[in-house]
Structure 1
Amino acid sequence: MQIRIRNFGPIKSFDLDLSKKFTVIFGKNNIGKSYSTSVTYLILKNLMKFGYEKLDANLTEFGESFRESFYATYEDIGNLTNRFSQKGMKLVLCTDALELTIESDGKKLLFHNVATAGNKLTGSPDISHIHYLPASRSGLYQALSAFSQIFAELSRSRGFLKKKVDIPSIPEPVSDYFLGLSAIRKRETEDDNEILRLVREMEKNILKGEVHFNEETKQMVYTPCHTDLSLDMSLTSSMVSELSPVVSYLKYIVASADGTSIIFIEEPEAHLHPETQVRLMEIFAELVRANVRIVMTSHSSYMFNKMNNLILDKKIDPETTGTVVFKHTDEGSVGTYVSTDELGADDENFLDVAEKLFNEKLELVEKLDTGERAE
């Protein structure tokens, strides 16, 4: 399955190959990485609601459901035209059996150009569950947690309110993320569960403590190793608070799920020391081998280089791994798959910066040396 994105916000073009089990998207800030992952999430989420095999018979229902998700996420779709070329947005869902084009006339979404090659969607990804972990996970979680408590108080005090309370809209991927954490329930899992083993490894070797869910307060709490403390996320380090939602999703949701899960995660390296970033990439590689699909965005050269080392070490399969680099053009950003083989992925994102810094260092050393000789 492939999702083609054209003239969507800052993006000129990007084709996301969902046959890959591990997709890593690199690029500069404000270039469209989040646009690409959020709209892909919405398409997949609504596809899964009706079942891949039944989509050709449920296109009307899919269209209504996708429109609702889309409008909840992007309030003014008129602003989603290519901001550089002013061309209209186009999203194309392609499988071996169906091609569906979604466009905008500036006011509403239009669905057309449906071509069916059979009565069953072949080539669809084997995915049963989908999750989205946005950037600034900790801040969003704490803010929305506080907001939900305020809203509960307002609801109880409804009789005393004299004016309507307007609640700001929240993009659907973000609200899904928060609702997923809020709905956590402890479930029985097998002792030999590979995902739980990786969670325990993250807690022991990275977080140096355990993340668990307080059934009474419905909040995540952190217990440092060798203590009986239960710390709210606001009282933990930035590293702990950013990784705790990842751990919680894996521990309480993904580990007990039947079938394959796909996780979209933005900037997992945020607030992490380079050593921790490297270890996290190792964990991601093991999760993929444990049948968890991952689509992640990143700015980290450490994670990029570790990914290449894991490919060389045969712990990441280059055949099922997609490495994407977004680059600016005059008509918007273009996301391109770079060559990825048994030697790793071509360094088209970080090499220029590293080379520039190295040359700058040589120039400064030469300048310093020349100045010392002049004295």
Structure 2
Amino acid sequence: METTKTQHIEKLASWKFSFKNIGCITNGEIDAKPLTILCGKNNTGKTWVMYGLYGFLNIGVSNLVLPQTQSMSKELIEKGNLEFNVIDWIKENFAAIKKDFNKNAAKMLSDVFNTNDKDIFSHSSFDWLIEENELIDHVYSKELTVSLVVGTGKKEIVLISKGPGSSIIQMTLLDTSFPRLENFINMALSQLLKIEHDSNPSFLIPAERNGLHLFFNELSSRRTALLHHASKEQFDLSSLLNDVLKSKYSAPIANYIDWLNEIRTNRKNKNSDFHHAAEELKKVISGKYTVDPEGQIYFSTYKRGASASKKIELHLSSSTVKSLFGLWFYLEHQAKLGDILMIDEPELNLHPKNQRVIARFIAKLVNAGLRVIVSTHSDYFVKEINSLMMLHNANSTQIENRNAIMKKQGISLDSMLNPNDVAAYVFDNSSVKEMVKSAEGINANTFDEVINSINEDNDEIYYSLIDIDSSEDEKDE
């Protein structure tokens, strides 16, 4: 069997999660693959779970208290150096480590959804399902180098390191007056246990992106807070700091707004990993984006025949052009191999033809080394994913026919998807269930039921009216 070359770049020891009492969801479990698809009716909890995953991957673990870190801190202060076997430490404390991670993940929900309502997540959980051997293998293979440097003289205070393929962690303390050593050790160990690249863990493109692309300057919570307080006759510093530091949006929305407000700087970044993908996206919009030094976004159409190319501000462009800007900029200036991309409704504002195109495009991103999680209402999107999986499964006797079909339909080899790299989940009746995969792909009953129903209703209306017309014609005769 011929297969496409897929880069598997893992950042977590396990991609399995279970959750309870989140939004309208009573319980559910997800085992995320390189491409994970969330489907279901409106108001069934898809965004809640996607935001929960985002929070687990992105929200810091500053409150984490791992076993024995207090004694590690004490010994490091006394001796200046500490060396210990992290694999033995995991074996001795696995249950406690897992409990601490999941306890912190439950607290994370209030932060990611930015709510002060203490009751809304009081009975919620968002657990990382991981086995001891998975965590040990993951930690053993990783490299860790974390140091704290302070002052203009760049004085190094503490250094924590571990080589790849080693079980030994070495800690060095150069200034015993450092006041938060235990917290620093917790941070370093949690980084070793969980996320490999904390600086760039995952990127979420929200369903609200069209409006955010147009009004991100006005929507900046910090800007709004400053203007609000500046207009007051009496200035309250504590109130200002509270408003500036705390966003009024959920974390994915607030972070996306902040990201948009940084595009004037990030536009200078050169990114070779996914430049080719960003270039391909231009074919969908039939033009190109530019960002000027002030952060103003423009769209330019391609020259067509005698018609000259036109450059317009983004707000004058089509909804499709607006919708895809964030994805293009991310791929052109930020995405790296192994990164995690989340897209809420990738089909937003796209004609069914382009919904198929974007499904193929996302398949290429997965095969190129991105891990992608999408939430979708599009039957076209899912059916195209099914086609790409069926093409991958062609056996040796079917290759010639497969290649002919792909050439006819304009499907490239790097769009084919290994079914083992795809997982799909349906949200319904307050629960989350994995959608069954067959030789034809994902069995998307959530869409099929509606399609069958509308066809039956259409037939009933049509034939009822035809029967009435026929009866009237017979009376006239």
TM range (shorter): 0.7 to 0.9
Contact 1:72 / 1:171 at 8 angstroms: preserved in 2?
Answer: yes
Establish whether residue 146 from structure 1 lines up as the match of residue 257 from structure 2.
Answer: no
Please report how far the alpha carbon of residue 58 of structure 1 lies from its aligned counterpart in structure 2 after TM superposition.
11
- Which residue number corresponds to residue 301 of structure 2? 224
Establish whether residue 325 from structure 1 lines up as the match of residue 360 from structure 2.
Answer: no
Please report how far the alpha carbon of residue 142 of structure 1 lies from its aligned counterpart in structure 2 after TM superposition.
2.6
Contact 1:31 / 1:327 at 8 angstroms: preserved in 2?
Answer: yes
Which of 1 and 2 has greater Rg? 2
Q: Which of residues 423, 440, 459 is equivalent to 1:362? A: 459
Q: Which of residues 269, 272, 289 is equivalent to 2:350? A: 272
Tell me the amino acid that sits aligned with residue 21 of structure 2: N
Please report how far the alpha carbon of residue 278 of structure 1 lies from its aligned counterpart in structure 2 after TM superposition.
0.8
Q: Which of residues 134, 156, 164 is equivalent to 2:206? A: 134
**TM, length-normalised to structure 2:** 0.62
What is the CA deviation profile of residues 216-268 of structure 1, one whole-angstrom value per residue up to 9, with x for unaligned ones? x12332222235654332221111111111111111111xx3x4111111011
1:48–1:98 Cα change, 3 Å: farther
Q: Which of residues 28, 37, 47 is equivalent to 1:24? A: 37
Distance 1:152 1:365 in 2: 55
- Which residue number corresponds to residue 103 of structure 1? none
Structure 2 unaligned spans of 5+:
1-13, 65-85, 135-191, 393-415, 473-477
Contact 2:204 / 2:341 at 8 angstroms: preserved in 1?
Answer: yes
Tell me the amino acid that sits aligned with residue 372 of structure 1: D
Contact 2:106 / 2:126 at 8 angstroms: preserved in 1?
Answer: no
What is the CA deviation profile of residues 159-197 of structure 1, one whole-angstrom value per residue up to 9, with x for unaligned ones? 97535565761211111122223333222344xx4x222
Contact 2:102 / 2:127 at 8 angstroms: preserved in 1?
Answer: no
Establish whether residue 351 from structure 1 lines up as the match of residue 428 from structure 2.
Answer: no
Contact 2:102 / 2:128 at 8 angstroms: preserved in 1?
Answer: no
**What RMSD, in angstroms, separates the aligned Cα atoms of the two structures?**
3.5
Q: Which of residues 115, 119, 125 is equivalent to 1:78? A: 119
1:347–1:79 Cα change, 3 Å: same
Contact 1:24 / 1:296 at 8 angstroms: preserved in 2?
Answer: yes
Please report how far the alpha carbon of residue 207 of structure 1 lies from its aligned counterpart in structure 2 after TM superposition.
0.6
Contact 1:208 / 1:225 at 8 angstroms: preserved in 2?
Answer: yes
Tell me the amino acid that sits aligned with residue 296 of structure 2: Q
- Which residue number corresponds to residue 94 of structure 1? 129
Please report how far the alpha carbon of residue 300 of structure 1 lies from its aligned counterpart in structure 2 after TM superposition.
0.7
Tell me the amino acid that sits aligned with residue 47 of structure 2: S
1:285–1:189 Cα change, 3 Å: same
Contact 2:57 / 2:201 at 8 angstroms: preserved in 1?
Answer: no
Establish whether residue 282 from structure 1 lines up as the match of residue 360 from structure 2.
Answer: yes
1:47–1:71 Cα change, 3 Å: closer
**TM, length-normalised to structure 1:** 0.78
Q: Which of residues 468, 472, 476 is equivalent to 1:371? A: 468
Tell me the amino acid that sits aligned with residue 5 of structure 1: F
Establish whether residue 40 from structure 1 lines up as the match of residue 49 from structure 2.
Answer: no
- Which residue number corresponds to residue 261 of structure 1? 339
- Which residue number corresponds to residue 236 of structure 1? 317
For 2:349, what is the secondary structure of its paired residue?
Answer: coil
Contact 1:221 / 1:230 at 8 angstroms: preserved in 2?
Answer: yes
Contact 1:21 / 1:320 at 8 angstroms: preserved in 2?
Answer: yes
Distance 2:280 2:118 in 1: 43
Establish whether residue 291 from structure 1 lines up as the match of residue 363 from structure 2.
Answer: no
Task: Give the number of aligned pairs.
Answer: 334
Distance 1:358 1:159 in 2: 58
Please report how far the alpha carbon of residue 350 of structure 1 lies from its aligned counterpart in structure 2 after TM superposition.
0.9
Please report how far the alpha carbon of residue 208 of structure 1 lies from its aligned counterpart in structure 2 after TM superposition.
1.0
Structure 1 unaligned spans of 5+:
82-87, 100-119
Contact 1:285 / 1:316 at 8 angstroms: preserved in 2?
Answer: yes
1:243–1:161 Cα change, 3 Å: farther
For 1:299, what is the secondary structure of its paired residue?
Answer: coil
What does 1:56-205 correspond to in 2, within 5 Å?
A: 67=107, 70-71=110-111, 73-75=113-115, 76-80=117-121, 88-97=123-132, 121=193, 129-148=201-220, 151=223, 154=226, 158=230, 161-162=233-234, 169-184=248-263, 185=266, 186-190=268-272, 193=273, 195-203=274-282, 205=283
Q: Which of residues 233, 243, 249 is equivalent to 2:330? A: 249
For 1:374, what is the secondary structure of its paired residue?
Answer: helix
Q: Which of residues 366, 372, 378 is equivalent to 1:300? A: 378
Contact 1:327 / 1:334 at 8 angstroms: preserved in 2?
Answer: yes
Q: Which of residues 4, 9, 13 is equivalent to 2:27? A: 13
Please report how far the alpha carbon of residue 356 of structure 1 lies from its aligned counterpart in structure 2 after TM superposition.
1.0
Tell me the amino acid that sits aligned with residue 140 of structure 1: L
1:48–1:187 Cα change, 3 Å: farther
Please report how far the alpha carbon of residue 67 of structure 1 lies from its aligned counterpart in structure 2 after TM superposition.
4.2
Contact 1:25 / 1:326 at 8 angstroms: preserved in 2?
Answer: yes
Distance 2:208 2:350 in 1: 13
Distance 1:266 1:305 in 2: 18
Distance 1:61 1:93 in 2: 8
Distance 2:113 2:28 in 1: 20
- Which residue number corresponds to residue 180 of structure 2? none
